[in-house]
Chains A and B, each alone.
Chain A
């Protein structure tokens, strides 16, 4: 029975991490449903971008208040993980404060964790107030109703509870140390939790141990639960921001990709030696490639990674000229819709032994309306605003391509503009022979 806690801990750890690993596998399978795209170029630039944008949070601090608060939570998250490592080892080995042999360094570390924990609590409260009391515009847009709103608050509550448990655990530990309880050796400094100690003052040693152990267990089980919450939440960005910034666009923002499948056809059309009546080669019976995207499988995997990375902060939407002037388009919603549809497709695949069975739905119309797609000015403000290099514009353009090239479903005025280009080489119906008239007017 002596090893029961160790065994329970090991089982909880294996279950927690195992379940998470299963979801990561699913995540990776879903992302790979996207088309292949070559992002193997410029490795050094890509590492630099990841270091700067994800690790260095350079685009977060463009908005100083949210940026600073976020840096606190982010640094807190990373640093306090050192403490989590100790907790895991203690749990497995049945030790208590294993790293305390580090002496004064340990005291310094525990002290800084406490300060960070307090700062995280402050930041989380500020975040909650911004979402629920001040109700900052970008948090109350239509696409944020229901689950996205709950999800946002849930994450804040979980973080608040975890930090409170951490400080409670330390406070009880500190009091036990002062009482000279067995196993509770003098270790750590408690600049923050010392202020909780008076609340525990009247407790007996055994009650204190109960408080300390309960907080310890709930804290680590809470972390494992949070880890598993990620997949069901917008909060995946804490992991995916890194690969996403690595694979982010390196070309000038104005450069759209040239569709290779179109290039091949155009070249054939313009080749004077090509025989228009030639029978297709025997082995050339593959279905012609679909132009553009009407569903998530038509997008490339980086675009799908983008969708899972989005944490719904809404900076893109708040910078979007169409959204600012009351149009339906919200770049954030484009990303959320892409993710939600991809999840739906993933579930269909799970339910059908790994095969996708068409469900009569698609990303276009069932999630993203044409009105949204046609409201975009392709100005790249959303791309510029995203703190983790998400490119909503590329999805919009891909879906426009489907509408125009597969469905001939552009708005009438645009069809007129395009037939003008076809007929007389300008978007307006002027004669090409008049192109130089401006010189003499």
Chain B
């Protein structure tokens, strides 16, 4: 176990009669996936550093139902959504931040129609906010001279037109940002969306993540940055398929920022 993170649950806030500034929606990947858990931890280190009064739902959190919806199971999605909304509304949650663009998209766009109205931001947007208003400053220069290329997650970029926040946050690491040929609105999917993460791909002549990693490798990066736990898995696997795991790493924007500051 590394250093202690300061993480409080909504229940604890409630018993103290307090409201947090923001709720950190960890998501299933961020809670259980070994790689994604590191992203959650890095993000919390930054929140702790910026002294953000945040809460998590802890064991009360449940799947947003997003992946069920993309798979076509509207029933399961709405069951999950209404359960979560009951919980969130009970705690009078106003603002939510999440590291998962899929949770971000469904909480922001699809929950309102079912009675869940919150100000939802992606962690790259929230980090930008903390940097902009001076609550978080990055002085480390560990990434100076490194080449970073950012892979736009579909549900952050194309789906919600958020392109600048992750790039602005990345620029604080002092690394050199290089763009892939297809980026922003025309970025290629990593292959995990639409519930593909949980099944084998259909028959074809290549896996999508291998193709997307090829795009990234063409920029000769040291690091492929992304802002989605699923993209992270897919790109990491893609790097292995290209046998580049010794020279290129895949990192989340939050991890890069935390590392840059030596957190």
- Contact flags A404-433 to B (C-beta < 8 A → 1, else 0): 110000110110111001100111101011
Contact indicator A433/B59 (Cβ below 8 Å): yes
Tell which of B74, B83, B189, B198 touches A427, judged by Cβ atoms closer than 8 Å.
B198
| Known contacts A321-B189, A380-B159, A425-B63; A404/B78 CB under 8 A | no
Known: A254-B160, A426-B32. A435 touches B71 (CB 8 A): no
Q: Is B140 an interface residue (CB 8 A)?
A: no
Q: Report if A436-B68 is in contact (Cβ < 8 Å); known contacts: A322-B204, A381-B158.
A: no
Q: When A377-B208, A417-B67 are in contact, do A263 and B191 touch as well, CB less than 8 Å?
A: no
* Cβ–Cβ contact B63 & A377, under 8 A: no
A292 touches B158 (CB 8 A): no
Q: Whole-angstrom distance between the alpha carbons of A421 and B65 in the complex? A: 8
Q: B20 an interface residue at 8 Å Cβ cutoff?
A: no
* Contact flags A147-168 to B (C-beta < 8 A → 1, else 0): 0000000000000000000000
The CA of A267 and the CA of B73, in the complex, are separated in Å by 16
Chain A residue at minimum C-beta to C-beta distance from B78: A266
Which of chain A's residues have a CB closer than 8 A to the CB of B72? 292, 397, 399-405, 410
**Is A325 part of the binding interface, using a Cβ–Cβ cutoff of 8 Å?**
yes
A residues in contact with B189, CB < 8 Å: 321, 377, 379, 381
Number of interface residues of B (CB under 8 A): 72
Is A45's beta carbon under 8 Å from chain B? no
Number of A-B residue pairs at CB separation under 8 A = 218
Residue in chain B with minimal CB distance to A376: B194
Within 260-303 of A, Cβ neighbours of B (below 8 Å) are at 262-263, 265-267, 269-270, 291-292
Interface check B261, CB cutoff 8 A: no
In the bound complex, residues from chain B placing their C-beta under 8 Å from that of A292 are: 72, 74
Expressed in whole angstroms, the Cα–Cα distance for A321 and B188 within the complex equals 7
B28 touches A377 (CB 8 A): no
Q: Given A379-B154, A414-B195, A425-B62, A258 and B110 touching (CB < 8 A)?
A: yes
The residues of B that contact A410 with a CB separation of less than 8 Å are: 71-73
Q: How far is the CA of A441 from the CA of B62 in the complex (A)?
A: 20
The answer to whether A432 and B62 have CB atoms under 8 Å apart is: yes
Whether the Cβ atoms of B185 and A436 lie closer than 8 Å is no
Decide yes or no whether A252 CB sits under 8 A from chain B: yes
Q: Are B208 and A432 in contact (CB under 8 A)?
A: no
Whether A324 sits at the interface, judged by CB under 8 Å, is yes
Kindly report which residue of chain B lies nearest to residue A373, judged by CB atoms.
Answer: B72
Across the interface, name the chain A residue whose C-beta is closest to B71: A414
Give the distance in Å from the alpha carbon of A270 to the alpha carbon of B26 in the complex. 25
Contacts of A413 in B (CB 8 A): 198-200
Query: A400–B71 contact, CB under 8 A?
Result: yes
With contacts A255-B105, A410-B72, A421-B76 taken as known, whether A435 is within 8 angstroms of B202 at the C-beta atoms is no
For residue B83, which residues in chain A have a CB less than 8 angstroms away from its CB? 270
**Partner pick for B192 among A377, A399, A400, A435, CB 8 A cutoff:** A377
* A residues adjacent to B (C-beta < 8 A): 251-256, 258-259, 262-263, 265-267, 269-270, 291-292, 319, 321-322, 324-329, 371, 374-381, 384, 397, 399-405, 410-411, 413-414, 416-418, 421-422, 425-428, 430, 432-441
17 example contacts (A-B, Cβ-Cβ < 8 A) are as follows A255-B159, A262-B74, A325-B211, A326-B204, A327-B202, A375-B201, A375-B204, A404-B71, A410-B73, A413-B200, A430-B31, A436-B7, A438-B26, A438-B30, A438-B31, A438-B41, A441-B37
Where the two chains meet, the residues of B that have a C-beta atom closer than 8 Å to any C-beta of A are 1, 5, 7, 9, 26, 28, 30-33, 37, 40-41, 44, 56, 58-59, 61-63, 65, 67-76, 78-80, 82-83, 105, 108-110, 113-114, 154-155, 158-161, 185-186, 188-189, 191-208, 211-212
Q: Which 7 A-B pairs have the closest CB atoms?
A: A254-B159, A400-B72, A425-B62, A378-B194, A326-B205, A379-B189, A326-B204
Given contacts A265-B75, A425-B28, 13 further A-B contacts (CB under 8 A): A258-B113, A292-B72, A377-B196, A377-B208, A378-B194, A379-B188, A381-B158, A411-B199, A418-B73, A432-B59, A432-B62, A434-B32, A435-B31
